[in-house]
Structure 1
Amino acid sequence: MKTKCSLLLWLCLFVTAANAQSKTYILVHGGWHGAWSWNKVVPLLEAKGNKVLAIDLPGHGDDKTPASSVTLQDCVQKVVSVANSQTGKVILVGHSMAGVIIAQAAEELGKEKVAKLVFLDAFMPKNGESVFALAGKAAQQAKPVNNSQHFPSLQESMIFSEDQKASQLKPENVMALFYHDCSKEDIEFAKSKLGWESMAVLATPITVTEARYGAVPKVYILCTKAKDLDKSSLSSNVPCEKVYTLASSHSPFFSMPEKLTTILDEL
């Protein structure tokens, strides 16, 4: 009887310890992308005992909502809904434009639900800032690049819908913008998946407070070889616990998923 009790106690302690180490990640993709961006990262994080949810924002991936009708709040509510469906706290990871989405979601969810915000080469906003506003700020503060080789800008690469409410990217430009250090297979995969993006999501400023959004711990992962935009100034736009760096393009989930996973898992 004592042996059975001891085994049961040991099992309970083991399960408790395992649950304490396990974390729940919600991975939120950037503009024009989808949950497919995280295909390499999800199994790596899961192999470390974590729960991982890679979601499609409205109008992206398997979600067939017309991009021209999608608002910032639609995207925020998707993240909030997924977070609230989970037991315990979650870690929100936002890539690129999703930085503003997870910021607004954190305002609604609060530190009681969000253990940490992770901005992956993302737009990390203050109250009243949008993706477009932050892109302009980052461009003004970017260090001059002495390089005779011209890289297409993101603005030059956008093709707008007839009503100007959505855009897609010129396929011939995306490798230079996002994937210059990625494999040929990953580049072709991404090209086949890239879709339309709502302009409203990029243009709408967020409304956040220090008491809610400001109270959630934040980390920034800066991709130092990204060619779409130098975001080094954005990594200090809002106070962070820590700033990590990856010598990668804007898409480390493709080019160095193991290194990215190591950072995420140690949070």
Structure 2
Amino acid sequence: MTIRLLLLLIAAQFQTVSHAQSKTYVLVHGGWHGAWCWKKVVPLLEANGNRVVALDLPGHGDDKTSPATVTLDDYTKKVVQVATAQTGPVILVGHSMAGVAIAQAAEVLGKEKVAKLVFLDAFMPKNGESVFALAGKAEALNKAAGKPTPGPSLSQCLLLADDKKTSVVDPDRVGQLFYQDCSADDIAYVKAHIGPQPMACLGTPVHVTDAQYGAIPKVYILCTQAKDLDKRSIAKNVAVQKMYTLASSHSPFFSMPEKLVAILQAL
């Protein structure tokens, strides 16, 4: 009986330590994508004992909101809603365009709820900046530094709807733009799932403060082989706690999920 009680106490202590080391990740996809893009990352993070939520932003994935009506405020409300529903602090991970969504959500949630902001090859804004503004600034700095354009620009790969409210990525160029180091099966999967992007979300500036957004530790993961845009200047746009690099395309969640998860797990 004494031995059994001792074993139970040891097991309880182990579970307590394990639970204390686990983290809660809220994964926010980038433009034209959905929660589906994290399908390789979620089980790897969960296997390490973490809680993981991959959400569909309004108008994306399985969310049935009309993309033509979606605003950055809608994105923000969704991220805030999902983060608030989790017990304890969360790590917000935003890929690409979602950098502005997690930044604006962090302004609402504050440092008590958001333990870290992770910008995965993402647009990391200062107050008053939008995705378009950040992209334009990065392109100008790259040109001034004599850095060659890696390929067709993102704007050249977009097909705008007649009303200009949404866009889709040219299916003939999506592989070379976002997935040049991914498998043919992954690219086929993407083409079957990628959808329209609300354009208003890309042009709307964030409204953030030093007291809220500025007080939350930030981490940047730079994808050094990304073809859509060289984001080295964006990675320095706001002070970060640490910057990591992955020698990947813009989509390491498909091409090197284990390496991406190793970084996320180390946060």
| TM-score normalised to structure 2 length | 0.96
Q: 1:152 & 1:168 partners in 2: Cα distance?
A: 15
Question: How many residue pairs are counted as aligned between the two chains?
Answer: 265
AA at the equivalent of 1:138? A
RMSD (Å) for aligned C-alpha atoms: 1.3
Q: Deviations over 1:34-72 (max 9, x none)?
A: 111111111111111111111110000001111110000
- The match for 1:232 is 232
Q: 1:8 & 1:209 partners in 2: Cα distance?
A: 49
- The match for 2:209 is 209
1:62-77 aligned at under 5 Å gives the runs 62-77=62-77
- The match for 2:262 is 262
AA at the equivalent of 1:82? V
Q: 1:182 & 1:33 partners in 2: Cα distance?
A: 16
AA at the equivalent of 1:227? K
Is the contact between residue 152 and residue 176 of structure 1 (CA under 8 Å) also seen in structure 2?
Answer: no
- The match for 1:119 is 119
- The match for 2:91 is 91
Q: 2:32 & 2:192 partners in 1: Cα distance?
A: 11
Q: Structure 1 residue 13: deviation in Å? A: 1.7
Q: 2:148 & 2:74 partners in 1: Cα distance?
A: 41
Identity of aligned residues (%): 65
AA at the equivalent of 2:81? S
Q: 2:2 & 2:190 partners in 1: Cα distance?
A: 58
- The match for 1:40 is 40
Q: 2:262 & 2:168 partners in 1: Cα distance?
A: 32
The farther-off stretch of 151-160 and 9-18 is 9-18
Q: Deviations over 1:141-166 (max 9, x none)?
A: 1243458xx72211011111121111
Q: 2:14 & 2:148 partners in 1: Cα distance?
A: 56
Q: Structure 1 residue 5: deviation in Å? A: 4.8
Choose the corresponding residue for 1:144, options 146, 162, 167.
Answer: 146
Q: Structure 1 residue 8: deviation in Å? A: 4.1
Q: What is the DSSP-based 3-state SS (H/G/I as helix, E as strand, rest coil) of the residue aligned with 1:115?
A: strand
Gaps of 5+ in 1: none
| TM-score normalised to structure 1 length | 0.96
